A and B are shown apart, each in its own frame.
Chain A
Amino acid sequence: MNASMPAAAVQQQFDDAPQQKEAAMLGMWAFIATEVLFFGVLFAAYVICRWRFQLAFVEGSSHLDFPMGTAETAILLTSGCLSAIALRQIQLNKARQSAVLLLAASLLGVAFLVLHGMEYHDEFKEGLIPGIRYVEKGPSAHEMELFFALYYVTTGFHSLHVLIGVVLLLIMALRTWRGSFCAPYHTPIEITGLYWSLVDIVWIFVYPAFYLVGSAG
């Protein structure tokens, strides 16, 4: 073990810190694979419905707040970059800078959730939530329900992941500020960064799938 590494950082089942880090990274990537499969099923359902009900999906997408969705995407991408830079800073032993960057990344996550909450609120007022308040009429109204059902399930689960990520980033920011991590030992920050990037990647595909259907038909 490195001399400057916290003694409690290496658990007893591991020979040394590198082995522990390898196990943590492998475990995290296996977890990411299961998460990708989870969202993959939703995207598979989307592809089928998008093919089957093309016009209803174009019409449904036109009801979503395109500028808000674009802003949310920019916010998440920036937040992901901040968490990546936070990892870099802790590797350079700049713990305070890393903590501030992690805090900023989590605050951008909160901003994403607030904006998305505002979207949900507006959609509720417009009556676009199937099973709760849905007032759409017309030939495509019933098929548009499928679009909105997929939209709420996918973005709802994604928002849940964002919320978990925000909490993790806040915990990491606090622990980093308190000096729990340093250049030789920063695996939890790296793991959290991987999770946050996953949240980014899922949204990267959610955004065009629901907000950019636009003129495609």
Chain B
Amino acid sequence: MTQQEIPTLRSQLLVLAGLLMLLALSASLSRVPLGWWVLVITASVAVSQALLVMVVFMRLKSAHPALRMIAILAFAWPLILVALTLGDYFTRSLLHAALH
């Protein structure tokens, strides 16, 4: 495994500033009556924030490829879980209609 590089203090503080700005954006837009767009915006902001934390604070940017793969899989499994659960949920009525 390669020796990790030491990030600059400036980069760490810039990421914190970015995270807080994204928080402000998400919080303020959630108060605007945008309907389902609120869900899209706040979810996108959350994913962006999580990626920033993983890449910079958890140092995946300079981590061994094996660790990056585990990180990707760690977050991919719940997505598969949600997708398959929703798939089951949404197709129940279709299956029910087809069988009766």
Q: When the two chains form their complex, are residues A70 and B23 in contact, meaning their CB atoms are under 8 A apart?
A: yes
Q: When the two chains form their complex, are residues B57 and A80 in contact, meaning their CB atoms are under 8 A apart?
A: yes
Q: When the two chains form their complex, are residues A205 and B70 in contact, meaning their CB atoms are under 8 A apart?
A: no
Question: Min CB distance, A56 to chain B, in Å?
Answer: 15
Q: How far is the CA of A211 from the CA of B28 in the complex (A)?
A: 12
29 sample A-B contacts, Cβ–Cβ < 8 Å, listed by A number = A25-B1, A25-B63, A29-B67, A36-B74, A36-B77, A44-B81, A44-B82, A47-B82, A47-B86, A51-B86, A51-B89, A77-B23, A81-B16, A81-B19, A85-B9, A88-B7, A88-B9, A193-B57, A193-B58, A197-B58, A201-B53, A205-B50, A208-B45, A208-B46, A211-B30, A214-B31, A215-B30, A215-B38, A216-B39
Interface residues in B66-95 by Cβ distance below 8 A to A read 66-67, 70-71, 73-75, 77-78, 81-82, 85-86, 89
Write the B6-50 contact mask toward A (1 if CB under 8 angstroms, else 0): 110100110110011001001100111111111100110110011
Q: When the two chains form their complex, are residues B82 and A36 in contact, meaning their CB atoms are under 8 A apart?
A: no
Q: How far is the CA of A77 from the CA of B67 in the complex (A)?
A: 23
Kindly state whether residue A18 has any CB partner on chain B within 8 Å: yes
Q: When the two chains form their complex, are residues A48 and B53 in contact, meaning their CB atoms are under 8 A apart?
A: no
Kindly state whether residue A26 has any CB partner on chain B within 8 Å: yes
Name the prevailing secondary structure of the A interface residues.
helix
- How many interface residues does chain B have, given as a range? 35 or more
Q: Which residues of A contact B (CB under 8 A)?
A: 18, 21-22, 25-26, 29-30, 32-33, 36-37, 39-41, 43-44, 47-48, 51, 66, 70, 73-74, 77-78, 80-81, 83-85, 88, 91-92, 193-194, 197, 200-201, 204-205, 207-208, 211-217
Question: Min CB distance, B68 to chain A, in Å?
Answer: 9
Q: When the two chains form their complex, are residues A32 and B57 in contact, meaning their CB atoms are under 8 A apart?
A: no
Query: A43-B78, A207-B46 known; A91 and B6 CB under 8 Å?
Result: yes
Q: When the two chains form their complex, are residues B86 and A92 in contact, meaning their CB atoms are under 8 A apart?
A: no
Q: How far is the CA of A204 from the CA of B27 in the complex (A)?
A: 12
CB < 8 Å: which of A204, A207, A216 contacts B53? A204
Q: When the two chains form their complex, are residues A48 and B57 in contact, meaning their CB atoms are under 8 A apart?
A: no
Closest B-chain residue to A61, C-beta based?
A: B30
Name the B residues within 8 Å of A81 (CB-CB): 12-13, 15-16, 19, 57
Question: Min CB distance, A154 to chain B, in Å?
Answer: 13
Q: When the two chains form their complex, are residues B46 and A26 in contact, meaning their CB atoms are under 8 A apart?
A: no
